[in-house]
Structure 1
């Protein structure tokens, strides 16, 4: 298990600073409040598991932390950047430079090879060594022999390993993972999690892991529980076992 890091105090200077965060969407029945005033601080190097029932706002929170959605109210600061003050181009550059994202459904480009998929963020950054680094990243996740394969030619576990290589290749400060084993069988999912936590430890990456699995959340040093769009518990993992 990763070393425990106690929850950061509200008002701190963490890598992630969320204040009074709200997210509301319109529906035929009226407004739906998905997040209802979340305040959260995460320090550099922490691994935080975010748990809660379906509909509690876990994935919405992740989308807001990655600048993929905009809050209705409140603020989100990541790596010193106020995401609410940035336009779409600036948000794209922010994600390129600071954030890696692993989704449940892999989100690989089907017309690109594994090597090309991993090289994408480096190419966007103008890195001349994009493909050299992509090949090294795929070697690290055990897919050096699959460089020229397309997603449809890979198993689910292999596709998620490509997605993890892509998330880590630019050495981001923050990794967001949303149910990364949700589409995998238990054995494959366990192997993917071991790989992800190993890479996180190697790079010192801050991890926010969205999961329904309490055992997986307990791999993190801290668990944040959501219910009905609010934080209902925020505790170090070891405190639970006391």
Structure 2
């Protein structure tokens, strides 16, 4: 599903060019749940941005679902994201002037789905917000807003979900509920799931844990079936 070959990302700054990603090689199979951990500034979010096609790799090859991003125009990338990717951020990124139902229906409408609102309503029911369809983001709690963001990401049934610290703005209990919901939805739809988190215990919920540092992958560990999670580690 995801293939990165010798991917480098360099961005300009006032002090000159900065190396963000340094020769990333990564292969993720369809249906895998993979967590990405590492200290701030290690390149986790930048790698997700490259996988989403929101940043162009400076060097190397990026292919998602067999499509070589280097051969796609910006318009083609936008269409690919619409049809195949769902992204959940730490900040909810809901449109404040739209209701929960309208926010969830946006990607479906953009895809030309005639059942956009019916499907959006069904997904909001699935995440426990059937009673909040007509509420605006400002009328919802943080946990409820993230549930809307989840519904929006999963409603088009994407092949790949990218989640960047999805519980970072939530309290502990609400965050646990959101994570349980994310794993439940991913398993139900057989979705490939990449999760950035600083929570090592949460990372161990995934079948595979990737540790990044200084723009490189320094550990890529597959958990064996039945293997208990490792104890939490610093970083």
- TM interval, short-chain normalised: over 0.9
Cα RMSD (Å): 1.2
Count of residues in correspondence between the two structures? 228
Specify the alignment match of 2:135 in structure 1: 149
Specify the alignment match of 1:88 in structure 2: 74
Q: Distance in 2 between matches of 1:125 and 1:168?
A: 14
Aligned to 1:219, what secondary structure does the other structure show?
Answer: coil
1:134 Cα offset (Å): 0.2
Q: Distance in 2 between matches of 1:168 and 1:199?
A: 8
Segments of 5+ residues of structure 1 without an aligned counterpart are 1-14
Segments of 5+ residues of structure 2 without an aligned counterpart are 231-235
Per-residue deviation, residues 35-78 of structure 1 (Å, max 9, x unmatched): 00100000000000000100000000111111111111111100
Q: Distance in 2 between matches of 1:230 and 1:133?
A: 40
Aligned to 1:32, what secondary structure does the other structure show?
Answer: strand
TM-score normalized by the length of structure 2: 0.95
Q: Tell me which stretches of 4 or more aligned residues in structure 1 moved more than 2 Å.
A: 237-241
Task: State whether structure 2 residue 119 is matched by structure 1 residue 159.
Answer: no
Specify the alignment match of 2:233 in structure 1: none
Residue from 91, 95, 98 that aligns with 1:112:
98
Task: State whether structure 2 residue 63 is matched by structure 1 residue 77.
Answer: yes
Aligned to 2:39, what secondary structure does the other structure show?
Answer: coil
Q: Distance in 1 between matches of 2:66 and 2:112?
A: 23
Task: State whether structure 2 residue 84 is matched by structure 1 residue 134.
Answer: no
Task: State whether structure 2 residue 7 is matched by structure 1 residue 21.
Answer: yes
Specify the alignment match of 2:186 in structure 1: 200
Aligned to 2:63, what secondary structure does the other structure show?
Answer: strand
Q: Distance in 1 between matches of 2:53 and 2:96?
A: 24
Q: Distance in 2 between matches of 1:187 and 1:198?
A: 17
1:237 Cα offset (Å): 2.9
For 1:32-47, what aligned pairs fall within 5 Å after superposition? 32-47=18-33
Residue from 204, 217, 233 that aligns with 2:219:
233
